[in-house]
Amino acid sequence: MMPLRSHYAAVPPYHTKDGSEIRELLHPVVHGNRNQSLAEAIVAPGQATALHRHHQTEELYHITAGHGLMQLDTDEFPIAPGDSICIPPGTTHAVHNTGSEPLHILCCCAPAYSHDDTELL
């Protein structure tokens, strides 16, 4: 049986196709949850994720630390701790860290995140 929990320090980070550093806190392949994934993305100061979209996955972002600029299709707006953003499937998006500290984002994906569902633009 897969563990239905994880601890942050035990989850190794990796880089996704969009260039962000990710920790998959809960993912079906590893933890046994079924319908979604939960990850933390970190974008370093002055860095940005590549513009991309997911054809199947809806994403929910929640900013926990840092400041940045969010792009959703042609709309751009500042993001800061406490902000939550819904990214519907098919929406082009990117995040730019405009602050001096790492930008931390909790990401919920349904269905779970997959490299195969990520199209770089």
In this prediction, residue 90 carries a pLDDT of 97
Residue 88 included in any domain: yes
Please indicate, yes or no, if residue 72 is contained in any of the structural domains: yes
* Residue 3 falls inside a structural domain: no
Q: Is 1 part of a structural domain of the chain?
A: no
Answer yes or no: is 81 within a domain: yes
- Cis bond upstream, residue 111 (ω within 30): yes
Q: What pLDDT does residue 115 have?
A: 84
Kindly give, in sequence order, each residue whose CB lies less than 8 Å from that of residue 24, ignoring residues fewer than 6 positions away: 11, 30, 37, 38, 39, 113
Containing domain of residue 21, as a range? Answer: 8-120
What pLDDT, on a 0 to 100 scale, did the predictor assign at position 32?
82
pTM equals 0.91
**2 falls within a domain:** no
CATH number, domain with residue 36:
2.60.120.10
Q: Strand, helix or coil at 8?
A: helix
Domain count for the chain, please give it.
1
Percentage of the chain lying above the pLDDT 90 cut? 69
Spatial neighbors of 9 by CB under 8 A, at least 6 apart, are none
Instruction: Give me the residue label for tokens 């590549």.
Output: 50
Retrieve residue 25's tokens. Answer: 């806190």
Give per-residue pLDDT as tens, 8-27.
Answer: 888 999 888 888 898 999 98
